[in-house]
Each structure stands twice: as C-alpha cells, then as structure tokens.
Amino acid sequence: MLDYVVIGGAQAGLSMAYHLQKQNKKFIVIDGEKEVGASWLNRWDSLKLFTPTEYNHLPGLKFRAPKNHYPTKFEVANYFKSYVKKYDIPIQLNTLVTSVRKNKKTFIIEYKDGFIESKNVIVATGPFHIPYTPPCHTKASQEILQIHSNYYKNADQLQEGDALVVGGGDSGYQILNEISKDSTRTVYFSGDTTVKSLPQQFLGKTLWWWFTITGFLNYNKYSWIGKKINSSTQPVIGTDVKGILSRENVIPVGRTKDASDQKIIFENQKVSTIKNIIWATGYRPNFSWIEGLELDANNYPKNYRGISNIKGLYFMGLPWMYTRGSATLGGVSKDADFLANYINSKN
C-alpha cells in the first residue's frame, strides 16, 4: 500500500516527488512515456523556453546553464533526468493510466498491464492532453499534409509547395517563423495578427525579471487583476510578430472557416495551392478517466490550489491553478510547496 501515486513525470510531478521524498512518504511516480523528459522531447526541434535559466529551477536543484540562457527542449529533458537521479525518485515509465477510482479509503489506479493501490493520488499530467484540430480538416484533400503542432518537428516533414499555419499563439508564431524563413515557400497564416508581442529583453533586463519585480506572476486567479489577466489575450513572448508578418512570403488570411478538397476557405479569400497545414490550434483537457471528478466550465478539475472535491485526490500543473505561472517550469515550485505543506498537515 502506497501513501501517494503521482501521475505524470514532468515538472509538476517531479516537484511533488521532491517534497514527498523529504516527508518520507511511500510513493511512486508513474508516466506513460518511455523516458523521463519525453513530454518535452516530443515537441518541435527548435523549441526553446521563453523563460531564462534563473527562472526554471525545480525545488532543490538549480538548472545548470548560464544566466539569461533560454534552454532548449533537450536541456530541459536532461535537467529532469538529473533531477530524478539526484533525488533517487522512484519512477515507473511506460505506464499509461486508464482509470482512477476511489473505494472506501483507497484509490485504484489502473493501467494496461495492471493496477496500483494508494491512499492518495496526485495528478500532474499538465495542461496539454488531446491535440485539437478543427472539424473542417476532414474535408481537405488527402493530398494535403496535415499535422498538429504536437507532432511537428521541423520543416523537413513538409511537402514541397505552399503551407498554412493555423493558430496565433506562441507555438503558431514560432512555427510560422521557422517555416517562412524559406523564402521560396509561400506561407499562409490564419490567426490573430493583432496579438501583442513582448521581447525577451527590455532595458538590459529579461522580461521575466520585470515580471518578477512587478509581481505580475504572483497575482492569483481569484484577485481582480488576476481575473483580468486570465481573461485577456496572452501576448506572444520572444517572437517578432510584426517582423514575421512583414515577410513577403507570409500572407495573413484571417480565420479558417472551411475546406473542400484542395480548397481552403478563409474569412478573406479561398486558396487552392496549399500542400501543407500545421494546426497550432491547442489542446483539449481530458480528465474523463477519473471517476467522480467535478469539472469546471473549461473541463478542468474544480479545485482550490490543487485540492479537489475528492478527498485524497490532488492536482498539480494545471493552467492558472493559482497564478499565471502554475503550469510553467519555473512557476510550479510555489504550488508544489503549498500542496506539500497542506497534505503534510493532514497526516
């Protein structure tokens, strides 16, 4: 019988594992991937954090890289591996959980090859679950290569010919930037062209330094200013939006409305030359595998700072679980510290 099972072996799960180890709890971290750090390694090759080294530390271990360095996905994965090794965190890979249910006093965590029983469960699977692609993608010709940003690695995956990037967040603009550097390829862009972009450096300081000094990252979602930030369109960080959109081979086309074989239909025009579509259209949460869980209007678990409606079931790493930084590498530590103190006080 375990005291805790932590589901998810990325930053949220490892942060909680650190505290459980310090509290001498009997626990295990389980993860569906084949190696530690896979959730980052699976992203596109050129991905870099928009937070510099000094704001990416998990509890107890500094991220070893020069100050003001923006780590690659490979550096993040290696940091996780060193974290697991340093604290001798018990982790079981290739374990994709299919259901969690509570009996009278214990939880049954089922996966393909068996089950684990535990007194408590901490779900740290992060905010990115099911890649979302608009329904109209099924109407496009099979000759068009379609790929969600979750599976995009680099421009070598693309066919020759025009491309379309759909989605105006950080991922959309970073991928648009990468594939439009090939000036021989016309790249259509379907997303918000009015989104604000913030530089990574301002007046000799990193953006994250300014966020920290002004307290921007500490506003909680229950405060007036936190609600205001949460409801507003988030800026793109570290990517020159205006510069990318000004390239001669980048053509903004407004919202993607429909598709019909070779023809992609936008707000402003119809295009029949597109050979590749990258859908940077985000994700949908999936917590249907947890029995008895109450969800909010956005289908995320109802909770207060990770404490759910089910006694003994907790969450880490949800977007805006308490502050804007709750789902980030550098911001998860504060939530982990709070939750660790809470659960320790209950035992």
Which residues have CB under 8 Å from 339's CB, separation 6+?
Answer: 16, 19, 122, 305, 306, 307, 314, 316
Domain 2-129+285-345: CATH class, spelled out: alpha beta
- The neighbour count for residue 302, using CB atoms within 10 Å, is 13
Below-70 pLDDT ranges, the chain? 199-201, 203, 207-210, 347
3-state secondary structure 63-98: CCCCCCCCCEHHHHHHHHHHHHHHCCCCEECCCCEE
What local confidence, expressed as pLDDT, does residue 134 receive? 95
CATH topology of domain 132-196+233-279: FAD/NAD(P)-binding domain (3.50.50)
Name the packing angle between helices 332-345 and 11-22 (round to 10°). Answer: 40
Name the residue among 132, 161, 171, 130 with its Cα closest to residue 262. Answer: 161
What local confidence, expressed as pLDDT, does residue 210 receive? 66
Percent residues over pLDDT 70 in the chain:
97
Name the residue among 288, 329, 294, 289 with its Cα closest to residue 308. Answer: 294
Domain ranges of the chain: 2-129+285-345, 132-196+233-279
What local confidence, expressed as pLDDT, does residue 231 receive? 76
Full-model pTM: 0.91
DSSP per residue, 194-242: S--EE-SEETTEEHHHHHHHHTGGG-BTTSHHHHHHHHSPPPEESS-HH
163-203: per-residue pLDDT in tens? 999 998 889 999 999 999 999 999 999 999 998 887 666 76
What local confidence, expressed as pLDDT, does residue 304 receive? 95
Q: Which two tokens stand for residue 195?
A: 């989104």
What local confidence, expressed as pLDDT, does residue 230 receive? 75
317-333: per-residue pLDDT in tens? 998 888 888 888 888 99
